[in-house]
Amino acid sequence: MPDIRYLLDENVTPVLRTELLRLETRIVVWKVGDPGAPAWGTDDPAILRWCEENFFLLVTNNRKSMPQHLAEHLSDGGHVPGIIELKPNMSIGETIEELLLIWGASEPGEYRDLIIYLPLF
């Protein structure tokens, strides 16, 4: 299984990717709408299927419906490498620190089928 890779949901600021790559060039961060990633406007169930097939953790701020989408995905026999839910009032800097911590200190598969809420502590 590859290292932890992130897919940023379409509503997540692209600044996260820019800053993550500036601080750590080895990290893989894609965004919905990128070539090879789900297209802009793809529904959440399809994004979860794509993450499962491509081994990407989904980074999202969709706290309202994503838990239900994950429950349905799992009940259909699917799995996901993990979902990271961003806290609305966290600063960009705090969010980047958390994502770098997860990337650097976690094993692939550690968050399988889980939703992780930031901040971790």
Kindly state the percentage of the chain with pLDDT values over 90. 88
Q: What is the C-alpha to C-alpha distance for residues 108 and 4, in angstroms, rounded to an integer?
A: 6
User: Is the whole-model pTM more than 0.75?
Assistant: yes
Range 15-23 average pLDDT: 96
Residue 53 Cα distances to 78, 92, 121, angstroms: 10, 29, 30
Question: How much is the mean pLDDT over the chain?
Answer: 94
Q: Identify the structural domains of the chain with CATH numbers, from first to last.
A: 5-117 (3.40.1360)
